[in-house]
Structure 1
Amino acid sequence: MTKEHFKENLEKALDGLIEFTQEMVINKLPHQYKFIIKINCSYDGNELENDEEIFPHDKIDAASSINPASELTVLDYLWRNGKVPQWINVQVSRCDDNFSYITLECCGRYSAFLNHKDGPFRASGPSIPYRYFDPVNEKLLHKIDLNEINKD
């Protein structure tokens, strides 16, 4: 996978994410992004296959100077030797007046050969606490305040 292809996949994952999430939250979500990178979010104890590679000592915690990251930092950090995490969950986690903060929850296994036509990215809506969702009718009861439910 080329770095340009990886960038295109990231942009494709972000395309519509704000609009989709906006339907479920009360916050005004800016179209400017900052990213929170979470790495090694998978179990990687099984044997590596094909070209897979792991970076077990690679750590980013809440106090890391890399977070929040720019798109360029995301691309530079996650594209390694032509390999990228096998999957990356993408979700708007919070916002302020200037930025929507996008969490990138990354697999610890890196590969150049992905089985997904759209790359490693899987976009999803915000985490919905049980009190906001009616499971019988499968609908949102009321919009969520991202900054309230995602307090650290």
Structure 2
Amino acid sequence: MTKEKFIENFKLLLVHLRDLTEEFCFNDISENYKFVLEPSERNVSGHLTKDENEYLKTWNKLENKEISFEQVIELLYKNGKTPKWADCNIKSSTLDKTVVKIFFSRQFRDESEIYYLERGTGPFKAVVNTPYKSIENSSEKFDVNWKEKLEKSKIKNIFSKIKHFWF
């Protein structure tokens, strides 16, 4: 795959991701995108090439860090090869910024082995994480930030219990 095609597919993915998220969520989605990379595993693996295992050092340094569109291109396009697949969802969104999580295969392949090409977004696929309760009320839109709020609430509860234990 050419770098130009990869960039074109990534841009189209962002259009699909925004449209899909707005279909299910009531939030306004900012077009000021930042990205968080999440490789399918964070350990050296024998089934990967030397280069694929070497890339892991960089990805582990970037764990939970927000990066730019250009940095995603630099990190996920390597000598004509890209991750075999990359599932993308909006992790959080405010009026100022939208954070997209990219969960991706650590296998870098040429275009003949990449998923989602038929969508025109290969190796990227747009997904929306849905809260369990939204299944019951599938016609109701939900907050795109539900998962982040849930995680923050769990952390707050843990600190509250620790504080209560010590005082």
Provide the TM-score with structure 2 as the length reference.
Answer: 0.71
- State the 1:123 CA deviation: 1.1
Unaligned runs of 5+ in 1: none
- State the 1:15 CA deviation: 1.7
- State the 1:131 CA deviation: 1.2
Report the equivalent of 2:125: 122
Pair 52,64 (structure 1): closer, same or farther in 2 beyond 3 Å: closer
One-letter amino acid of the counterpart of residue 34, structure 2: K
Q: Residue 44 of structure 1 contacts residue 108 of structure 1 at CA under 8 Å; is this kept in 2?
A: no
Q: Residue 52 of structure 1 contacts residue 111 of structure 1 at CA under 8 Å; is this kept in 2?
A: no
Pair 150,65 (structure 1): closer, same or farther in 2 beyond 3 Å: closer
Structure whose alpha-carbon radius of gyration is higher? 2
Q: CA RMSD in A?
A: 3.0
One-letter amino acid of the counterpart of residue 69, structure 2: E
One-letter amino acid of the counterpart of residue 107, structure 1: S
How far does the alpha carbon of each residue in 1:32-69 deviate from its partner, in whole angstroms, 9 at most, with x for none? 21111112349996756xx99622661435x7388211
- State the 1:144 CA deviation: 1.7
The alignment partner of 1:4 has SS state of: helix
Task: Write 1 or 2 for the structure with the bigger share of strand.
Answer: 1
Report the equivalent of 1:111: 109
Pair 45,27 (structure 1): closer, same or farther in 2 beyond 3 Å: same
Report the equivalent of 1:149: 147
- State the 1:114 CA deviation: 3.3
What does residue range 51-90 of structure 1 map to in structure 2 within 5 Å? 54-55=52-53, 58-59=56-57, 60-61=59-60, 64=62, 67-90=65-88
- State the 1:92 CA deviation: 1.2
Report the equivalent of 2:17: 17
How far apart, CA to CA, are the structure 1 residues paired with 2:51 and 2:110? 10
Q: Residue 44 of structure 2 contacts residue 56 of structure 2 at CA under 8 Å; is this kept in 1?
A: no
- State the 1:10 CA deviation: 0.6
What does residue range 29-68 of structure 1 map to in structure 2 within 5 Å? 29-41=29-41, 47=47, 54-55=52-53, 58-59=56-57, 60-61=59-60, 64=62, 67-68=65-66
How far apart, CA to CA, are the structure 2 residues paired with 1:130 and 1:47? 35
Pair 38,16 (structure 1): closer, same or farther in 2 beyond 3 Å: same
Q: Residue 30 of structure 1 contacts residue 98 of structure 1 at CA under 8 Å; is this kept in 2?
A: yes
Unaligned runs of 5+ in 2: 152-167
One-letter amino acid of the counterpart of residue 36, structure 1: V
Pair 52,14 (structure 1): closer, same or farther in 2 beyond 3 Å: farther
